[in-house]
Amino acid sequence: MAVRLKPVEEQVVVITGASSGIGLTTARMFAERGARGLVLAARNAETLDDIARELSARGTHTIAVPADTAKREDIEQIARTATETFGGFDTWVNDAAAALYGRLEEIPIEDQRHQFEVNYWGVVNGSLIAARHLRERGGGAIINLGSVLSERAMLFQTQYSATKHAVKAFTDGLRMELEREGAPISVTLIKPSAIDTPYPEHARNYMGDNPALPPPIYDPHLVAKAIVFAAEHQKRDLTVGFGGWMIGALGAIAPRLTDVVMELVGYATQSTRERQRESMRDNLYRPRQDGDEYSSLAREPRKTSVFLAAQMHPFATAVVLAGIGAAVAAFLIPRESRNRPRPRARSAVPARRSEQVTTKTSGNGHSEYVVGPGYRARHEPFHGRPQPRH
């Protein structure tokens, strides 16, 4: 079912996890696009208030709602505030997430369970509350932040990968249910690769070294761009970063080989001895320092993604690729073949058969051509009956 979505300039947008990283970058991008209103939710009330004042000063009416997405009553409060302030909302972005690094046997079950409360149940409750409201409002968009790790589990982030597998399954099921009932609601899953945000610094860490993100690392503005696009265009899913997509593809094609590679490089690519901001460390149960889009790691993220652009504009991409293919083909064809004259077409009229003759050997051993019984020339007039054939 096709869903018509409003332009961003006419939308009120709710964003959870809006105090740092992808959520903060996305809030600023919606404000730059001139969104009618923003409702920002996170646990860090002080930082959230600062962000709301910043964006309101730029001309976008922004409301801060301190909330813990692990609690359904807090998510209900987000929706009520949006309704009381703006009369409702048009797009709901589920971005809040918690991170754990370490071996499964070393991470307490209580921590693993709480990570599911935030990463999975926060998305479930946010989506269901948003769907109920958008039905009454006449339509809109639900955008869930998943991960490329929903396609392939990552060593030392096993439980995070499990939560994102669950988010993908829930998002696909919700989309089918809404389509089946004819609800005018677009449901999109955004799957980022490794993104340069404070995510590893906010993580609760059970490894010997500080946590890090495996390369290649992408800029959070690419994810924000995908989210803003999904608010205006009905899209099933968008993957940010070809590098992360390749992990899932390789896992599907050669799962055992991918296992071995991850076992060899999994720790080295997800750990660092660089000093990190301790004021950010471990926000699993309580908020820590917020307000930054980027991490403090000394790595320059990739700021462009042709792979993402191709997903957002598939028709234009197909036209460009067709043009490139034609140009390459023209270049590769030998010049001699292009300048060689074409052979003349064969005549459609078949050549006239020569008259059939038979060869007869005379008694003296010399051969001579004689016509057979009943033979006559093609245009020779016929007199009498033909001779009988022997």
Amino acid symbol at 213: L
Which residues, 6+ apart, have CB-to-CB distance to 202 below 8 Å?
20, 98, 99, 280, 281, 282, 283, 288
Residue 156 lies in a domain: yes
Q: Could you tell me if residue 200 is left (phi over 0), alpha (psi between -120 and 50 degrees) or otherwise beta?
A: alpha
Of 101, 120, 160, 199, catalytic:
160
Mean pLDDT computed over 14-26: 98
Residue 237 lies in a domain: yes
Structurally, how many domains does the chain consist of? 1
Residue 280 lies in a domain: yes
| C-alpha to C-alpha distance for 372 and 355, rounded to whole angstroms | 11
Q: What is the pTM of this model?
A: 0.81
Told to judge if 160 belongs to the known catalytic residues of this protein, a careful annotator would answer: yes
Residue 359 lies in a domain: no
Task: Give 130-180 pLDDT, tens digit per residue.
Answer: 999 999 999 999 999 999 999 999 999 999 999 999 999 999 999 999 999
Average pLDDT, the chain: 88
Residue 316 lies in a domain: no
Residue 309 lies in a domain: no
Q: Residue 17 sits in a domain of what CATH number?
A: 3.40.50.720
For residue 362, name the pLDDT band (cuts at 50, 70, 90).
very low
Residue 369 lies in a domain: no
Q: What percent of the chain has pLDDT over 90?
A: 75
Task: Give 273-292 pLDDT, tens digit per residue.
Answer: 998 999 999 999 999 999 99
Residue 348 lies in a domain: no
Which domain, by its residues, includes 73?
Answer: 8-302
